[in-house]
Amino acid sequence: MTDRERRAWAYLAAVAEPPCAPLVALVEEVGSVEAAKAVRTRTVPPHYQSVLVATEARAAVDTAARDLETCDRLGARLLTRDDADWPAWQVLGLDQAETAARGGAPLALWVRGPESFADISERSVALVGSRAASSYGDYVAGLLAADLCASGWAVVSGGAYGIDGSAHRSALAASGTTAAVLACGIDRDYPSGHAQLLREIAQRGLVVTEYPPGTTAAKHRFLTRNRLVAALSSAVVVVEAGRRSGAANTAAWAKRIGRPLGAVPGAVTSATSVGTNAMIADGDATLVADAAAVIALAAPDGHDVRPAAPSRRTDGLLPDQLRILEALPARGGLSVDEIAFVSGVRTQDALRALAALDFAGLVDGSDGTWGLAR
């Protein structure tokens, strides 16, 4: 990519508030350099008038040079549609007409960290949930993140307090891959209390945002950011959510773009599980209790790794045999006739069942009486 192209991309990435589907379409049609020139000179093709509206406030202020300098200083990079690392967003459902109106694919992304964006988008799960998580939610987020990483899955989240932070931290502790998708510029630490955590993710995982440097976090940006969290992952799991929670928005995005949605159940007495329990009860989310269930959701063609229930010695016994076993006293023995009476199994059947139970080592017979095997 030439410097001129890079400058054009940086200008376009800042000139309209993302997501801006008409601007993406213009760039797709005429290329970044021509598109930047068209926006700057206010001379877009006739059917792109909406681009003028979307860019009017910022068209005259070119922050590209400054933004790229910030990017370089942080060791970040600007990922564009011209990059080999650019994911097939149309596969992710974000180029479809239905979603284009509400979001659509990003124009460009600012990323920071050693991990490949394409690799992460191929094998990752989003773990999201309340900022005001309970200790249960924090624990389960950490457990799922560690187990998912151990199975080779990356953990995507939003870098927020609560569930997001627990998921990121646990993935890092497990030496796994984690990506934080921000609702602010790549140079901003939001929330400020997670400055150190975001630095670590930038050093060992990947920090991602579609907002140019200097952009502050804002409510509408969290909602927009959530669509990228869902699109970047093979499944979205809400670990904890109260009655009203930002996680519900990410969950809605997952449904909208066709991502499987899981939710961790919780006590019906817990305010932080009201939302997740409701998603499950309403049939919006699948109950997931462990990482194996999450993986089954994210990769439904994989084999079922759910552990089988442990077996008991009385498993597989026939009804008559069970009835006779139950009829035997805790101590001592009974005659066959007594056993037949107590169990209600007729004598010849009782004898046959006792022989089978004897063979299975469950009963002992001596002196004409039968008792439980010691």
Residue 263 CA to residue 276 CA, distance in Å, equals: 6
Under the phi-then-psi rule, with left for phi > 0, alpha for psi from -120 to 50, and beta for the rest, what region is 237? beta
- Among 275, 222, 218, 266, which Cα is nearest to 244's? 275
Token digits for 248? 């519900």
What does the per-residue mask of binding to its own copies show for 294-333, with x meaning CB under 8 A? Answer: ---------------xx-x-x----x--xx-xxx------
The secondary structure of the chain in percent helix, strand, coil, rounded to multiples of 5, reads 45, 15, 40
Which residue reads 């001129």 in tokens?
4
Q: Are 207 and 231 in contact (CB under 8 A)?
A: no
Under the phi-then-psi rule, with left for phi > 0, alpha for psi from -120 to 50, and beta for the rest, what region is 138? alpha
The site that binds its own copies (CB under 8 A) totals a number of residues, namely 55
Q: For residue 269, state whether it binds its own copies (rule: CB under 8 A).
A: yes
Answer for which of 273, 295, 333, 353 binds its own copies (CB under 8 A) is 273
Answer for which of 84, 97, 219, 330 binds its own copies (CB under 8 A) is 219
Q: For residue 347, state whether it binds its own copies (rule: CB under 8 A).
A: yes
Choose the stretch contacting its own copies; rule: CB under 8 A; options: 69-77, 119-127, 213-221, 227-235: 213-221
Orientation of helix 3-15 relative to helix 32-40, angle to 10°: 50
20: three-class secondary structure by DSSP: coil
Q: For residue 166, state whether it binds its own copies (rule: CB under 8 A).
A: no
Answer for which of 277, 333, 363, 370 binds its own copies (CB under 8 A) is 277
In angstroms, give the least distance from the CB of 17 to its own copies: 3
Which residues in the 65-104 window bind its own copies by CB under 8 A?
none
Between residues 220 and 374, which has the closer beta carbon with respect to its own copies?
A: 220
Buried b (16+ CB within 10 A) or exposed e, 188-225: bebbeebeebbebbbebbbbbbbbbbebebeeebbbbb
Q: For residue 225, state whether it binds its own copies (rule: CB under 8 A).
A: no
Choose the stretch contacting its own copies; rule: CB under 8 A; options: 1-9, 50-58, 145-153, 159-167: 50-58
Q: For residue 136, state whether it binds its own copies (rule: CB under 8 A).
A: yes
Q: Are 261 and 249 in contact (CB under 8 A)?
A: no
In angstroms, give the least distance from the CB of 346 to its own copies: 4
Q: For residue 362, state whether it binds its own copies (rule: CB under 8 A).
A: no
User: Which chain residues interact with its own copies by CB under 8 A?
Assistant: 16-17, 53-54, 56-58, 61, 136, 139-140, 143, 218-221, 243-244, 264-269, 273-274, 277-278, 280-281, 286-290, 293, 309-310, 312, 314, 319, 322-323, 325-327, 340-341, 343-347, 349-350
